[in-house]
């Protein structure tokens, strides 16, 4: 039963992958009004007390960068850096590092490098170090054990 369910899930993923790529290619250009609304809402959502809203907004930033690579999302770098530096939840710091990785700014890279070096949570530091090692590469290695063995 589990094997057939796994096979079904794999087939569904293989069918869905080309469809998501087609959607990203067919995205219409954003108008100036839409860009302004996106900026206003993203900045407001990143300050929200709701964890779900903040997490959803970070994922939205990643998706926006993938769908509209020429759209300047630099306005979100400083709030993401603040989340990475001072959020009390390690999960949000990791998500902020991942969002900064996808936004691909030099300032964001600097912040992720600092967290890899100085974060008090080992898990956050490991994730940040992995992102820094893979910054600018076409593929991202998530095998931290292999990466650790290679560096020692």
65 phi and psi, to 5 degrees?
Answer: -65, -35
Give the per-residue pLDDT at 146: 55
Rounded to an integer, what distance in angstroms lies between the CA atom of residue 69 and that of residue 150? 32
Residue 27, pLDDT above cutoff 80? no
Terminal C-alpha separation, the chain? 43
CATH topology of domain 29-151: 1.25.10
Six token digits for residue 59:
């994922």
Would you list the domain boundaries of the chain?
29-151
Q: Are 65 and 71 in contact (CB under 8 A)?
A: yes
* Percent of the residues in the chain that have a pLDDT greater than 70, as a whole number: 73
Torsion angle of the four alpha carbons 63, 67, 72, 75, in this order, in degrees rounded to the nearest 10 = -20
Q: What is the per-residue pLDDT across 123-142, written as a single tens digit (0 to 9) for each?
A: 999 999 999 998 887 655 55
Top-confidence residue, 13 or 58? 58
Mean pLDDT of the chain: 80
pLDDT band at 16 (very low <50, low <70, confident <90, very high): very low
Work out the average pLDDT over 61-87: 93
**Section 64-79 average pLDDT:** 92
Predicted confidence at residue 118, as pLDDT, reads 93
Three-class DSSP category at 9: helix
Look up residue 123 and give its two tokens: 């898990």
Query: Could you give phi then psi for residue 28, rounded to 5 degrees?
Result: -75, 150
Residues 16, 10 contacting (CB under 8 angstroms): no
């Amino acid at each position: 039963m589990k094997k057939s369910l796994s096979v079904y899930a794999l087939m569904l993923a293989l069918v869905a992958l080309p469809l998501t790529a087609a959607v990203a290619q067919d995205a219409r250009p954003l108008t100036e009004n839409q860009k302004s609304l996106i900026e206003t809402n993203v900045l407001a959502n990143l300050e929200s007390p709701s964890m779900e809203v903040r997490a959803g907004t970070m994922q939205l930033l990643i998706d926006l960068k993938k769908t509209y690579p020429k759209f300047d999302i630099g306005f979100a770098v400083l709030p993401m850096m603040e989340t990475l530096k001072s959020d009390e939840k390690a999960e949000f710091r990791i998500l902020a590092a991942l969002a900064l990785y996808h936004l691909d700014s030099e300032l964001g890279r600097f912040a992720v490098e600092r967290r890899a070096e100085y974060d008090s949570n080992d898990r956050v530091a490991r994730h940040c170090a992995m992102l820094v090692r893979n910054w600018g590469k076409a593929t991202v290695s998530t095998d931290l054990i292999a990466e650790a063995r290679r560096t020692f």
